[in-house]
Amino acid sequence: MTSLADLLANNRRWSEGVTHRDPGFFDRLARQQAPRYLWIGCSDSRVPANEIVGLMPGELFVHRNVANIVVHSDLNCLSVLQYAVEVLRVEHVIVCGHYGCGGVEAARRRTPLGLIDNWLRHVQDIAERHQHLFTGAMTEAQAADRLGELNVLEQVANVCRTTIVQDAWRRGQLVGVHGWIYRLQNGLVRDLKLSVMREGALAEEYGRALAALMS
Ligand code: CO
């Protein structure tokens, strides 16, 4: 088992390694960050945002919570989104879920886990809203995958509906909102083909992505 001392030793080695490859790296980074992307993903330790998409510190602004949920009253998530869009002026907001998400699965199975049940209720709502997309012929694994995918589509829609993104689009700011899902078993990201780039495009894009998912 790794001790805290090991973590600090790892950190020194990492810092030395980065400095060795690029002596000016930390100096540049300390002066400013200019990420082009905001990543909204799950807190799951197996889904390390930067690593999956091969980005260095400074290149990806990140918000993570259990089951990558975007709730209109979540001041934490909204603050991240606002800062990313209005101050950092990221060009893309990526909602990336993952297959095998414990949060999504707990929501689907209605497993009581305590306080977090209230948070995961948002995912249960999605399952209920899309009940007709879950057929008796599906295996448990297929149903779990489907809810993970639907959760991403729904959270993309929620990002698009925020005042932050709506205002940005009205100002003519270029910002795209995209839905992806990561598979733990092979380390690959699947593009769920939901990309919304402008006001008023959500309904059509959402419908198209949902139809593609079902085909
Ligand atoms: Co998860």
How far apart are the CA of 67 and the centre of ligand 1, in A? Answer: 5
How far apart are the CA of 98 and the centre of ligand 1, in A? Answer: 6
Q: What is the CATH number of the domain that holds 80?
A: 3.40.1050.10
How far apart are the CA of 43 and the centre of ligand 1, in A? Answer: 6
Domain of 144, in residue numbers: 34-214
Mean local confidence (pLDDT), 39-56: 97
CA angle 192/197/92 to nearest 5° reads 75
- 95 and 26 fall within a common domain: no
| % of the chain exceeding 70 in pLDDT | 100
How far apart are the CA of 52 and the centre of ligand 1, in A? Answer: 15
Parallel, antiparallel, or unpaired for β 92-98 and 176-183?
parallel
- 158 and 75 fall within a common domain: yes
Residue of 79 and 215 predicted with greater confidence: 79
Mean local confidence (pLDDT), 185-195: 98
- 86 and 52 fall within a common domain: yes
Q: What is the pLDDT of residues 138-156, one digit of tens each?
A: 999 999 999 999 999 999 9
Give the pLDDT score at 1: 60
**pLDDT interval class at 19 (50, 70, 90):** very high
- 7 and 23 fall within a common domain: yes
Give the pLDDT score at 115: 97
The number of domains in the chain is: 2
- 24 and 130 fall within a common domain: no
- 99 and 181 fall within a common domain: yes
- 22 and 123 fall within a common domain: no
Distance CA 107, CA 159 (A): 21
- Reported for 104-111, long-range contacts at CB under 8 A and 24+ positions apart, including other chains, are 104/67, 104/144, 104/147, 104/148, 104/151, 105/144, 107/67, 107/147, 108/143, 108/144, 108/147
- 101 and 198 fall within a common domain: yes
Residues with CB under 5 A from ligand 1 (ion): 42, 44, 101, 103
- Which residue type, as a one-letter code, is found at position 173? Q
How far apart are the CA of 184 and the centre of ligand 1, in A? Answer: 10
> Which residues are identified as catalytic?
42, 44, 46, 98, 101
- 2 and 43 fall within a common domain: no
**pLDDT interval class at 2 (50, 70, 90):** confident
- 18 and 81 fall within a common domain: no
Mean local confidence (pLDDT), 189-213: 97
- Residue 158 scores a pLDDT above 80: yes
With beta carbons less than 8 A apart as the criterion, state whether 116 and 66 touch. Answer: yes
Give the pLDDT score at 180: 98
Parallel, antiparallel, or unpaired for β 60-65 and 37-42?
parallel
- 93 and 11 fall within a common domain: no
Give the pLDDT score at 3: 94
How much is the mean pLDDT over the chain?
96
- 8 and 65 fall within a common domain: no
